[in-house]
Amino acid sequence: MIAYFDCFSGISGDMTLGAFTDLGVPVDFIRDEIRKNLIDCFDIKIEKTSVNGISATDVNIVIDENTGHKRDYSYIKNLIEESSLSENVKKNSLEMFKNIAVAESKIHNADINKIHFHEVGSVDSIVDIVGTCLCLENLDIKKVYSSKISTGSGFVKCSHGVIPVPAPATLEILKGVPLIDSGIKGELVTPTGAAIIKTLATSFGGMELTPEKTGYGSGKKRFAERPNLLRIILAKEDRSILHDRVAVIETVIDDMNPEIFGYLIEKLLKKGALDVYYTPVFMKKNRPATKVTVISDENIKKEMIDLILTETTSIGVRYKTMDRSVLEREIVLIETSLGKISFKKIKKPDDSIVLTPEYEECKKLAVDRNIPLKQVYDLLTKETNGLY
If DSSP codes are grouped into helix, strand and coil, which group holds residue 46? strand
Same domain, 191 and 294: no
- 94 domain residue, yes or no: yes
- 331 domain residue, yes or no: no
- Of 194, 212, 235, the last residue of a domain is 235
Q: Which residues fall within 8 angstroms of residue 234, CB to CB, at 6 or more apart?
A: 1, 2, 3, 4, 23, 139, 141, 211, 212, 213, 214, 215
Q: What is the pTM of this model?
A: 0.67
| Number of domains the chain is built from | 3
Higher-scoring residue by pLDDT: 199, 112: 199
The answer to whether the beta carbons of residues 59 and 30 sit under 8 Å apart is no
- Of 220, 197, 238, 228, nearest in space to 349 by CA: 238
- Of 235, 262, 289, the last residue of a domain is 235
Q: Output DSSP code: residue 147.
A: P
Query: Which amino acid, residue 354?
Result: V
- Of 92, 195, 84, nearest in space to 136 by CA: 92
pLDDT for res 206: 81
Q: Which residues fall within 8 angstroms of residue 189, CB to CB, at 6 or more apart?
A: 7, 10, 11, 12, 149, 150, 151, 152, 166, 170, 174
pLDDT for res 344: 94
Same domain, 231 and 250: no
Structural domain range at position 352: 337-384
Same domain, 117 and 177: yes
pLDDT for res 221: 92
- Of 212, 235, 258, the last residue of a domain is 235
- Range name among 4-8, 57-61, 103-107, 157-161 with the lowest pLDDT average: 157-161
- Range name among 67-81, 95-109, 192-206 with the lowest pLDDT average: 67-81
Helix (H), strand (E) at residue 135: helix 123-138
- C-alpha 325/C-alpha 344 separation (Å) is 17
Strands (E), the chain: 2-6, 42-51, 54-63, 143-146, 149-153, 155-158, 161-164, 179-185, 201-204, 213-218, 229-235, 241-253, 275-282, 288-297, 318-336, 339-347, 353-357
Same domain, 271 and 375: no
Same domain, 230 and 318: no
- Range name among 63-72, 78-87, 319-328 with the lowest pLDDT average: 63-72
- 330 domain residue, yes or no: no
- 332 domain residue, yes or no: no
- Range name among 53-67, 349-363, 373-387 with the lowest pLDDT average: 53-67
Same domain, 19 and 65: yes
Same domain, 72 and 151: yes
Same domain, 226 and 274: no
pLDDT for res 117: 47
Q: Output DSSP code: residue 148.
A: P
| Residue 274: pLDDT over 90 | yes
Q: Which residues fall within 8 angstroms of residue 40, CB to CB, at 6 or more apart?
A: none
Same domain, 281 and 365: no
The answer to whether the beta carbons of residues 202 and 145 sit under 8 Å apart is yes
Same domain, 159 and 292: no
pLDDT digits (tens, 9 = 90+) for 295-316: 999 889 999 999 999 999 999 9
pLDDT digits (tens, 9 = 90+) for 200-247: 998 888 877 889 999 999 999 999 889 999 999 999 866 556 677 899
Same domain, 308 and 346: no
Same domain, 309 and 200: no
| Residue 160: pLDDT over 60 | yes
